[in-house]
Structure 1
Amino acid sequence: MTARQPADICMILEGTYPYVAGGVSSWVHDVLQTHADRSFHLVCLLPDRQERKPRYTVPGNVVGIEHVYLQDIPTGSRSMPGDHRLFRRMEHGITALMEAGQLEDLALLDAALAPARRRLGRRRLLNSPAAWQSVLRLYDREMPEGSFLEFFWSWRSMMSSLFAVLLAEIPPARAYHTISTGYAGMLAARAHIETRRPALITEHGIYTNERRIEITMANWLHEVNAGSLTVQRKKRDLRDLWIDTFTGYSHCAYSAAWRIITLYGGNQDLQRRDGAPEERLQVIPNGIDYDRYSAVPRDTVGQPPTIALIGRVVPIKDVKTYIRAAAMLRQQIPDLQALILGPFDEDPGYGQECRDLVAMLGLGETVKFMGQVKLDDWLGRIDAIVLTSISEAQPLVILEAGAAGVPTVATDVGACREMILGPPDESPALGAGGAITPLANPQATATALAALLRNPETLAAASRAIQERVRLRYNKRHLDRIYGDLYAEAIALPDAAPVHLRTPRQRGFFARWRQQRQPGAT
Structure 2
Amino acid sequence: MYSIARSGKKKPRTLSPAAAIEPATAAKPVYEDVDVAIVMESTYPFLKGGVSAVVHDIVTHNPDLSYGIIHITWDSDAPLTDLYGMPSNVRWVRTVFLSMDEHRQDFQGVASRDLGMTAPEREALSHRFFDALYALSEHGDVEGLWELIDEGMNERTRQYPLWALLGSREFMQTLQDRMPQLNLSLANSFWTLRNFFSLAYAVLGETMPRASVYHAHTTGYASLLGAAAARDHNTSFLLTEHNLYVRDTVNTLLDRNMALSITAEDYRTFDVTAEQRAWMAWWTEMGRFCYPSARLITYLYPSAITEAARLGADMDKSVVVPNGMVIAEFDEKFRARQDALAKMEAEGPDYVWHLVYIARVVPIKGLLDLLSSMEILRDRGYPNLHLDVLGPTEHVPEYYEACLAKIDALGLNDHVTIHGTVHVRDMLDQFDLLVLPSYNEGQPIVILEAMAAGIPTVGSDVGGVAQQISDNLTTADGRVIGPCGETVTPGNVQQMADGIQAVIGNLANYASYAANARTRVQELFQMHEVMSSYNQIYRALGDLPVIGEAAPVRGEELAPVDL
Distance 1:314 1:100, change over 3 A: farther
Q: Which residue of 2 aligns with 1:378?
A: 427
* Alpha-carbon spacing, 1:415–1:128, altered in 2? closer, same or farther (3 Å): closer
- The reply to whether residue 75 of structure 1 matches residue 105 of structure 2 is yes
Amino acid at match of 1:142: M
Aligned to 1:32: 59
Give the Cα–Cα distance (whole angstroms) in 1 for the partners of residues 203 and 426 of structure 2. 45
| Distance (Å, rounded) in 2 between the aligned partners of 1:480 and 1:456 | 36
Deviation at 1:150, TM superposition (A): 3.1
1:328 corresponds, among 376, 379, 387, to 376
Give every structure 1 segment of 4 or more consecutive aligned residues whose post-TM-superposition deviation is greater than 6 Å: 115-122, 232-236
Q: Kindly indicate whether the alpha-carbon contact (under 8 Å) linking 1:106 and 1:190 is maintained by their aligned counterparts in 2.
A: no
Kept after mapping to 1: 8 A contact 2:115/2:164:
no
Residue 187 of structure 1 aligns to a residue in which SS?
Answer: helix
Report deviation, 1:47: 2.2
Match of 1:312 in 2: 360
Q: How does 1:27-426 map to 2 (within 5 A)?
A: 27-54=54-81, 55-72=83-100, 73=103, 75-76=105-106, 78-79=110-111, 80=114, 82=116, 85=121, 87-88=125-126, 90-97=129-136, 101-113=140-152, 125=163, 129-130=167-168, 133-144=170-181, 146-148=183-185, 149-217=187-255, 237-296=274-333, 297-298=336-337, 299-300=339-340, 301=343, 304-331=352-379, 332-422=381-471
Matched residue, 1:20 = 47
How far 1:7 sits from its partner (Å)? Answer: 0.8
Which stretch of the first structure deviates more once superposed, 199-208 or 414-423?
414-423
Matching residue within 440, 444, 447 for 2:491:
440
Structure 2 counterpart of 1:483: 534
Asked if 1 retains the 8 angstrom alpha-carbon contact of 2:182 and 2:278, the reply is no
Q: CA deviation at 1:416?
A: 0.6
Q: How far is the alpha carbon of 1:374 from its aligned partner? A: 2.7
Deviations 1:52-74 (A, max 9, x none): 33233233322222222223245
CA deviation digits over 1:33-57, x for unaligned, max 9?
Answer: 2222221122222223325332332
Contact 2:71/2:95, CA 8 A, preserved across alignment: yes
CA 1:51–1:156 in 2, change beyond 3 Å: closer, same or farther?
same
1:198–1:493: 8 Å Cα contact kept in structure 2?
Answer: no
Is 1:465 matched up with 2:504?
A: no
- For residues 332-351 of structure 1, give each alpha carbon's deviation from its aligned partner in whole angstroms, at most 9, with x where no partner exists: 22121111122212222211
Asked if the contact 2:461–2:488 (Cα under 8 Å) also holds between the matched residues in 1, the reply is: yes
> What is the TM-score normalised by the length of structure 1?
0.84
> Are the counterparts in 2 of residues 97 and 249 from structure 1 also a CA contact under 8 Å?
no
User: 1:432, CA displacement in angstroms?
Assistant: 2.1
Q: Which runs of 5+ in 2 are unaligned?
A: 1-27, 257-268, 546-563
- Contact kept in structure 1, 2:353 and 2:432, CA below 8 Å: yes
Sort the Cα spacing of 1:181 and 1:49 in 2 relative to 1 into closer, same or farther, 3 A. Answer: same
Find the aligned partners of 1:158 and 1:128 in 2 and give their Cα distance.
10
Deviations 1:236-270 (A, max 9, x none): 94444333332322223221111100100111012
In 1, Cα distance between equivalents of 2:181 and 2:385: 61
Contact 2:356 2:431 in 1 (8 A): yes
Q: Give the AA of the match of 2:40.
A: L
Instruction: Measure the CA separation in 1 of the matches of 2:145 and 2:158.
Output: 20
Greater RCO between the two (CA within 8 Å, min separation 6)? 1
Work out the CA distance in 2 between the residues paired with 1:244 and 1:186.
15
RMSD across aligned C-alpha pairs, in angstroms? 3.0
Bigger mean CA deviation after superposition, 98-107 or 365-374? 98-107
Give SS of 1:378's match: helix
TM superposition shift of 1:425? 5.6
Higher alpha-carbon deviation: 156-165 or 281-290 = 156-165
- Which digits, 9 at most, give the CA deviation of each residue in 1:195-226, with x for residues without a partner? 221110011001122233234448xxxxxxxx
Q: What SS is found at the alignment partner of 1:295? A: helix
- The whole-number CA distance in structure 1 between the counterparts of 2:503 and 2:78 is 48
Number of aligned residue pairs: give it: 479
